[in-house]
Every structure is written in structure tokens, then in C-alpha cells.
Structure 1
Amino acid sequence: MAGTIDLDEETLQGQADIWRFIYAFADSMALKSAVELRIADIIHLHGGAVTLSQIASCINNGGYRTPPDINCLFRIIRLLVRRKVFTVQHPSDGGEPLYDLTHSSKWILHDSELTLAPQIMAQTHPWLMAPWHCFSRCVKEGGVAFKKAHGSEIWDFASEKPEFNGLFNNAMACTAKIASSAIVMGYKEGLSRIESLVDVGGGTGGLISEIVKANPHIKGINFDLPHVVSTAPEYPGVCHIGGNMFHGIPNGDAVIIKWIFHDWGDEDCIKILRNCRNAIPKENGKVIIVECVLKEDGSGVFDDMGFVYDLIMIAHTSGGSERTELEWKKLLREGGFPRYKIINVPAFWSIIEAYPE
């Protein structure tokens, strides 16, 4: 007769937690499937709750002769309902269940002005997932996870592979829209007296274009690597300049730099900060840093994500990390910015306003 194990409640919960962590990837993959199948878009275009068969009838089947597998679709949506990405209603007359959007699924609409769909497609792509399998090697050997997985670091990989460059730029552009919305709403006073603003590492210009649109008195300069700005569209009031932030930065009244410092180690960040200081006036100049500020005991809605993103920095960068306020203070001082102020905005990021004097 097989033996039995008497588990107390805490031990049982511990086992349940480990099972959940093992299969946490299932949430990401189900979400990716929903984005690829455009499930949220189908519901949104319908204008209200829809049945599973209605969703299936609207899925682009790519020319396959067989119709979509409704059982497979149901099982994917069922998990996402449990995760509150979608909601389900069971009619009292016994009719088909009706599926609808939630506050979460509105963020995976393809054609929404503010969407995270490109981020989902990028972060779940095998190119960006492969480095995660190298973490234990990084602990044992040191080195860069992305390079271990692909033979080159991420920026070189992007410059050599246009498809990856497009995937990555689309992901960055969608976060730029979310960041720009938060900045335009929550940082009006900080932008009111700036005449020229340089977006360092601005990608294809999404952030600076939105700032200039809301603040037409600002002359916008989008600055990034030549292969990045070569694909940037034209925006009113914005000029694109290709270059390298480690060699120099165009002059402006202020510099804004979003989600760049977390890609680099302290030594590289200090070089960037010193180039930022050289690009702005000594009096009344400032650097506007849009980054996460880690709070180890934080209970805010985005605080957990800071620690997740810290591991993304191991996966995708060569020495990057998310930083606590104390780490930011030390970095800014060594980069030539002895004074700073942290401003909260309605987003994952905070604004760190840094001053050279």
C-alpha cells in the first residue's frame, strides 16, 4: 500500500506556488495567442460580448481549408478569463457563453493608440526568449546572456537583422506612446519652459513627436543610432539625427532619456550622463530621465514589474539593471548631476529630473 504524506497548509501552498511558477510561461503564451488571433480586436469590433463561435468565424485562418479549432480556442480563452484578461457571461436561458473585454484586454488591441500588443510579440519571440535559458551560465561564467544565445550583443544583432530591428523598434514605439501619454499628462509644468528638447535613444521618434504635438513651442530632436533613425517617419516640429550617445549628444535646453540607462552598467551610464551635461546649459539646463525606481518594499501597482524588468536587463543587455533611489543618487552625482527630484507620473516609470548645478 502506497504511503501518504500529511502536508500542512503552508507546505501545500508552497507546492502550489512552485507549480504556478513552473508554468508561468503558459500565461504569456496564451496571451501571445490571443494577440496573434486578434481575439480582443474581434470582440471590440463587434461592439459587445460575443460567443465563441462568433470569435472563431472572424479569425483569419490563413487560407487553411479546415475551420479554426473551437475546442482549442475555448481552452486558451478559458485560462485568460481566469486571469481576468477576458470576462465570460453564462446566459440564464442556457445559450452560448458570451465573452467580453476587461480593463486588461483593452491593452492588447492592435489598433488602439495605447497598446502593449507589440511588446507581447517581441518579448515572447524566440529571439528574446533564448537568452533567459542562459541565466545559470551567466552566474557561473559571467558574460552577457544575449551574446551567449545569439553570438552577438543585442544592438549589433538588431543592426544585422532588419526583421529583429523592426520587431524591437515596434515594441519600443508602443511603450513610447504609453510613456508620452503619461509624461504629457503628468509633467506639463516640467515641459512648459523648454524651447528645445533632445530625446536621446529616441528610437523612431514616437516619444518626442507626442511631446512636441502637445507642446508646439518645443523644437524636438530625435537622436539615435543611424540604422534606427533611418526608418523613422517625419513628424512636424521634429528633426532626426543619427549618432552615438557615447560620442556626443546634440545641444538643447534639456535632454529627455527614456528607458536607456537601465540597458547599461554604471560606467557607461556615467559616460552618457556627462555627454548629457555637455549638451545642456549649465544654468537652467536639466536631464529628464524616464526610468523605474526600484522600491524593495514597494506595494504600488507597478512595483513588482521593476524586479521583473531587472531580470530582463540580464537577459537582453550587457550590464544593465533597474536601480533604487540610492543607486540613482550615486550615479547622478558621478555623472555631474548633484541635484535631482523624483516625480511620479501615471505609468510604470517615474521621472527623475536631474540638474547640473
Structure 2
Amino acid sequence: MHPSAHFALWHQAVSYTKSVALAVALDLGIADAVHHHGGSATLSEILAAVGIHPCKLPALRRLMRVLATSGTFSATPKDAGLDAVYGLTPVSRLLVTTADDETAAASLAPFMGVNLHPILVSPLVKGVMAWFRQEKPGGPSPFAEAYGEMVWERTQHDAELNAVVNKALVADSRFLMPIFVKECGEVFDGVDSLVDVGGGLGGAAAAIAAAFPHVKCSVLDLPQVVANAPADANVEYIPGDMFESIPPAKVVFLKSTLHDWGDDECVKILKNCKQAVAPREDGGKIVIIDMVVGYGSQDIKQKEAQVFFDFYIMTIGGAERDEQEWKDIFSRAGFTDYKIVSVLGVMSIIELYP
């Protein structure tokens, strides 16, 4: 017997509990509770702050042990018989939502929350094994099998899910876009108009408009999304369907949009983008922020995050793609040239030229 192999199987079989522990921490607001105690708190202080019954103290201790072992929080032992002191780490600081400084503005709690939402996770947990045994080429995703519709169809009548998804996209943009406009501003050299396709409540477009006032920014999204968009003099919101048509602009911007769709749908979207953008000689291009699996840092956590997320998003009908898979889609949509211009954590920036 190889002990390391035995440990590895145990670890893989129960690693889902890390995700569940994170979901509970988000639901209880543990990061906020620790933050409001000055960045560190005992178990009893956390229990009182999150408002759960004292009978759950032993369970909370076990929960915090998982979260500390995974690096979400730190744990400093105290004297014998006393609770450890739990502190914020760079990871849990990203989950604080109620700070008065930039910490809350950059919180990823809503984005992590949507990826752990029961409606989205349930098909992965309950249905994916049976789905693999089906003989339905081009058949529905596990999500569609479970609910009889795609995620975006469900958001049209499920107000709670629609709100959760929109808040998640706003949180992701608030975190990512300041880095993007600071480090990749040359992407907008010579650009005077941009349409953010599938841009949700306009977080990304607003960041671009603020950083580059000369760029006229608009957002195209479904009517139920645009209906909840905030008033912004610098961003125009256009209700519509990217599968039907896209408003003309020098640049089409696609942030975390194409990964929600299969290859055929992506080809259709990109063909519509090609019709919308200006010619290349006039500065026309498509800017894509999405994962390129295997590209960038070879850090094991980044590699795992990419392939794990790809498996997750497969269950709702989407896909993360490696460079060759992207290239194949671009070619099918009629594009001949692209370049990966930068890497932002697990995400990459691709410029695609008409």
C-alpha cells in the first residue's frame, strides 16, 4: 500500500467540504464578524456576532477549523482550555462586505456566493453522474436536465436568482476592472466607442468610462437585466439579445460572457460581434476577458481553479477553453488573427481582430 496514495484519495473524496464550509461562512457573514472585531475574534465572539444559537458552538469550532486549515482564516492557539483567536487572511479579506474602506468595494463575497448557490450547485452534486451515462449528443446540460431551462432563461422569472447573478457580476467587475484599466489601458488606445455585450448592471463599462472618458460606453443585455441597471450618465443601457444583433461600436467587449455558452453559441455571438465592430484598419477589435486554460502562471492552485471551474460550468452548459479551443472557435466565426495580451490571475485578455 502507498500511504501517500491513500491520503490523496481521502483528500479528494472529502475536499468538497471546503466549498461547503466557505458557503456557510458566506451565509453567516463570518468575515464581516471578524472584521468588526478589529480583524481577529474568538469563537464565542464570532458566534455572538453572527447570531446563531449557543448550541452550535461545537459545530462552529469544527467549521472554523476547516476554514483555518484551508487558509481562509488564520487561527492562533491560546492557553489551554481557551478558544483560538481567528483572524482575517488575504483570502477572507476579499469576503468582507461591510467595511468603510476599499475592502468592501472589492469584496468577492457575492461572486463566490453565486458559484456556491444551491440552484447552481445542485445539478453538479445530484445529476452529473446520471448525465454522463446519457446517450444524447448535443443534449441538455445537467442544469437544464434538472430545471427544464437554461440559467439565463430561469433568471427571466426567478427574481431571486436574477438578483444574485447580477450582484455577483458587479462584484467581479469591481474587483477585476481597476486592475484591468491600470495594467492594460493600452487596449483602449484610439478607441472612441465600446459596447459591453452581456455586461449586466454595467460595472465593467462604468469602470472603463471613468478611466477613459473619451470612450462612449454602452451595455447590451437582456431586458430583465437592463431594467435593474443603475442610472449612469456615462453608460447607455440597451435591452436586447446578443444572439440576434449587437449595436455597432469600434470595440466589442466580452467579459466572462463566452464561457457561459457552448462552442456553437460562441460562434454565433462572435459572428454578430464581427458585424458590429469597425474594420481592423479603423481600430476595430473584440476584447475578451475570460480564462485560457493552462495559460499564465503554473501555480498549482491557479491550474486547479481553472480546471475545477471548467468542470463546474460544464454543468450549466458553458466551458472554459485552452488556447487551441479558443482558436478553433475564432476560426469558425471567420476571424484569422488574435493575441493574448495579458493575464489577470486566472483570467486572460484576448484581442480578436476582424
- Structure 1 residue 118 corresponds to structure 2 residue 110: yes
Q: Which residue of 2 aligns with 1:252?
A: 249
Q: Which residue of 2 aligns with 1:4?
A: none
Instruction: Give per-residue Cα distances to partners, 1:100-120, cap 9 Å, x unaligned.
Output: 111111111123112221133
When normalised by structure 2's length, the TM-score is: 0.90
Q: Which residue of 1 aligns with 2:208?
A: 211
1:28 maps to which of 19, 22, 26: 19
Q: Which amino acid aligns with 2:67?
A: L
Q: Which residue of 1 aligns with 2:293?
A: 294
1:16 maps to which of 4, 7, 10: 7
Q: Give, in angstroms, the shift of residue 232 of structure 1.
A: 1.1
Q: Which residue of 2 aligns with 1:307?
A: 307
Q: Secondary structure at the match of 2:233?
A: coil
2:271 maps to which of 271, 274, 283: 274
Q: Which residue of 2 aligns with 1:163?
A: 160
Q: Separation in 1 of the partners of 2:51 and 2:34? A: 14
Q: Separation in 2 of the partners of 1:98 and 1:169? A: 35
Q: Which residue of 1 aligns with 2:101?
A: none
- Structure 1 residue 149 corresponds to structure 2 residue 146: yes
Q: Separation in 2 of the partners of 1:296 and 1:343? A: 11
Q: Give, in angstroms, the shift of residue 34 of structure 1.
A: 1.4
Q: Separation in 2 of the partners of 1:258 and 1:89? A: 40
Q: CA RMSD in A?
A: 2.0
Instruction: Give per-residue Cα distances to partners, 1:43-92, cap 9 Å, x unaligned.
Output: 2122232222222222234xxxx546322221111111111111122346
Task: Flag as ranges the 4+ runs of structure 1 deviating above 3 A.
Answer: 91-96
Q: Secondary structure at the match of 2:252?
A: strand
Q: Secondary structure at the match of 1:240?
A: strand
Q: Separation in 2 of the partners of 1:171 and 1:46? A: 26
Q: Separation in 1 of the partners of 2:263 and 2:95? A: 34
Structure number with bigger Rg? 1
Q: Which amino acid aligns with 2:133?
A: K
Contact 2:195 2:218 in 1 (8 A): yes
Instruction: Give per-residue Cα distances to partners, 1:148-193, cap 9 Å, x unaligned.
Output: 1112221111112111111122222222222312311221111232
Q: Which residue of 2 aligns with 1:355?
A: 353
Using the TM superposition, name which of 327-336 and 84-93 deviates more: 84-93
Q: Separation in 2 of the partners of 1:297 and 1:222? A: 29
Contact 1:310 1:321 in 2 (8 A): yes
Q: Give, in angstroms, the shift of residue 93 of structure 1.
A: 9.2
2:129 maps to which of 127, 136, 144: 136
Contact 2:337 2:353 in 1 (8 A): yes
Between the two proteins, what is the percent identity of the paired residues? 33
Instruction: Give per-residue Cα distances to partners, 1:116-165, cap 9 Å, x unaligned.
Output: 21133222222111211222333222322111111222111111211111
Q: Separation in 1 of the partners of 2:346 and 2:108? A: 13
1:168-187 matched pairs, under 5 angstroms: 168-187=165-184
Instruction: Give per-residue Cα distances to partners, 1:177-215, cap 9 Å, x unaligned.
Output: 223123112211112321111000001111111111122
Is there any run of 5+ residues in structure 2 with no aligned partner, and where? 99-103
Contact 1:183 1:345 in 2 (8 A): no
- Structure 1 residue 127 corresponds to structure 2 residue 123: no
Q: Which amino acid aligns with 1:231?
A: N
Q: Separation in 2 of the partners of 1:193 and 1:200? A: 20
1:79-118 matched pairs, under 5 angstroms: 79-91=66-78, 96-111=83-98, 112-118=104-110
Contact 2:296 2:343 in 1 (8 A): no
Q: Separation in 1 of the partners of 2:76 and 2:236? A: 50
Q: Give, in angstroms, the shift of residue 28 of structure 1.
A: 1.1
Q: Separation in 2 of the partners of 1:106 and 1:32? A: 15
Q: Separation in 2 of the partners of 1:206 and 1:68? A: 42
1:50 maps to which of 37, 41, 53: 41
Q: Give, in angstroms, the shift of residue 331 of structure 1.
A: 1.6
Q: Separation in 1 of the partners of 2:216 and 2:265? A: 28
